[in-house]
Structure 1
Amino acid sequence: MITLKEAKNYLRVDYDEDDRLIQNLLLTAKNLVMDVGRMDEDAFARNEDTVRTAMLFALGYLYENRSNPDYQKLTLNLRSILFAQREGVM
């Protein structure tokens, strides 16, 4: 859904040394969004715009706070972004 090039542009990274880290963080962001959003692959694809926003938010947070992330804070923010898309909430 989000390419490495898009992720690096969002993070304003113009060097290649962190490519592997960014790819791993993209996968982590996807898994977090799916878990917090209570989404399967179909729901994930159906809500592309919101999911992209949530993934980029998670990616930015994880990249900037990679030495000491606060997962509770991240999860609460993702819940706010994904509230309307969360399966089984409403």
Structure 2
Amino acid sequence: MTVSLEEVKLYLRVDSNEEDELITSFIFTIEELCEGVLRRPLTEFAIVPETIKQAILYGVGCLYEQREIADIKAILVFLKSVLFSYRQEEW
């Protein structure tokens, strides 16, 4: 994972361990979406830029807070806007 469960829980202000599995699944989902936008795996970055980490935190936050009504299209628009400068032309 590019961001740790602990980092995400701090960002979300979650103190308990009850939702760790859910939050972890959201991290993997958003990281996969980011890789799609970037057109490359996150593992290609020697050091992942803070912009990408913030995009992941934002996306996980959206899925966590709006889990029943999350607007994936809006999340993707945000991710594309924020990650555009790191995007490869093609896979």
Alignment of 1:17 onto 2:14: no
**Cα separation, partners in 2 of 1:45 and 1:67, compared to 1, 3 Å:** farther
Higher helix share: 1
Q: Which amino acid aligns with 1:81?
A: V
What per-residue deviation string (whole Å, max 9, x for no partner) do you get for residues 34-66 of structure 1? 111212231x44543221111111111111110
Distance 2:46 2:54 in 1: 13
Q: Identity over the aligned pairs, expressed in percent? A: 36
Question: Alpha carbon RMSD of aligned pairs, Å?
Answer: 1.6
Query: Matches of residues 43-82 of structure 1 in structure 2 within 5 Å?
Result: 44-82=45-83
Look up the SS of the partner of 1:68 in the other structure: coil
Gaps of 5+ in 2: none
Runs of 4+ deviating beyond 2 Å: 44-48
Distance 1:8 1:63 in 2: 10
Q: How far apart are 1:69 and its partner, in Å?
A: 1.2
What TM-score do you get using the length of structure 1 for normalisation?
0.88
What TM-score do you get using the length of structure 2 for normalisation?
0.87
What per-residue deviation string (whole Å, max 9, x for no partner) do you get for residues 1-42 of structure 1? 211111100000011111110011111111011111212231
Aligned length: 88
